[in-house]
Structure 1
Amino acid sequence: MSFPNLDKRTLAFSVTDKDTGWYKNYETTFAKDAYTWSTRGLDIKTPGLTWTGDARKMSVRTTTPWGSLNVQLKARGPVMKYAGTGSFPLLGDTNYEFALPSMQTSGTLTVQGRTQRVSGESWLDRQWGPIGTDGDPAMHWTWMNLSLPGGDKLALWDTVNSKTDNSWATVLHPDSSYDLAPVTPLADGAHRPWASPTSGNTYPTRWTIDIPALKSHLSVRLTGTDAQELTGGMGARIEAKASFTGTYQGKKVTGNNYVEMAGNWKA
């Protein structure tokens, strides 16, 4: 993560066991001159991280005091451009976001001295641009990603401040076509709050998501532990493992997804 105006960079790494609830994270901040990248390709180096390759194939290696990750990723399918163009309004400013939502992934994960092989599909996301918080205590946002049957990829944004409440979804189909749809504001279906003893923030851990234009009604819940909070360089936020069930385009669906939340949801 890069914060040009603050002259610092942040590396965050977390692992969740959705079955046992075990969770551990690591977050460190370092000076901007300890972060290097290439303008001719993907070649990023920071303390504890090496990320090389190109838009179709890449390698990621990261090391923390208690574990490490060494994986190779290969892109399959089209690139997702959020809102269909890669540009959208976010809390009064313009942001830019793209994703490679279907990355074939393999490698090793080491946790507390134990190494195991890992494989599956990853969602790689890239976002940049200003975020107009301006100290607004009402500001909070939620981002979710869902991989759906048939190859559809759905990304959901819900942003709230004292002036606006904007909730919408981008759906990327395997043939590179898009659906863009309004979402019923997440606060209407958010429940079972968890209060962080570290930051003092309150976050929902369950959601009911309605997307009428897509004939979709989904239930999402955090899996593992509710306490999947990072509190380092980027501020307090939830970066959490989740799962979903319900209907999409009128058909029953189920799967695993990811949830990011920032800000305090306490009424």
Structure 2
Amino acid sequence: MKKGIFEHKISVAKIDAHREQLARRIRGARRRLGLISVLIIGFMLGMMPVLAAQSSDEFLVVGVIVGAVGVFLFGFYFLDRRRRQRDIARRRVEPLRQILGSLRDELLPTRKLELRYDLRDPDDREKMTWTETSDFGHAKIRYYDAWLRIQGVLADGTRFRIRMANELKTKKGRVLHEKRWLNLKVGPPESRYSIDQAAEHFHLLVSAFDNEAALHASPVVLQIAIDQLRGAIVIKARREDMDFPPEAVLGLLRGTVNFVIEHGNEPAEGEERMGFF
């Protein structure tokens, strides 16, 4: 497993322990940033008088100044990178902790929850999907950062999968724009609910989520479809430059499950379907 990517299969009973582990990861990132900041600043302050004491002419003084500026720039770059990594951990781990805490009592106890999350930089080289050079020699790069996947089974047997991703476009190292993607897939148990029956009331599901309040922010682009071949409802949502809050993710999941319970309550008649995932 590559550094910065984490995969887990955890039982419902161990979700609280895993949430505490995630919290320690955030605290650890903060402590490392603070310690490194102190060390770099201390090194810079300690070296400058030492070098100055050894300077006997103006050429050496200039050298000391140049060296001090170089050390400062290197330290600033290093700290900025560490700060970015801390912010990424905070922005991703904390929502994940909230989602896990909310789902804990709704999961099937006998099935493990599958997690995969990526705490690497969104513009990591391995996430690059497209690049070109402008007429002026400026690089334009697009990245696709699929940073979260949660997959599990609810207490009534409903299978679900949550995916979240960021799409970035950069120019000369600066982010031009970002898109946030949320992909939700819900598959009710065929022995209890009929996806075909639910499909007859599909317009009700669309209208239920066809408002900005459903995702607690605007603007949001929603695509909702019923995959009758696999017996699942698929929802894709997109936002510009803003993260999806945990309550929006859980609201979509619970709203979809409630829709199936209300409108798909006629058991399927043994129709064979393809794999859910």
TM-score (norm 1): 0.26
More strand by share: 1
Q: Which has the higher contact order (CA 8 A, sep 6+)?
A: 2
**Which has the greater radius of gyration?**
2
TM-score (norm 2): 0.25
More helix by share: 2
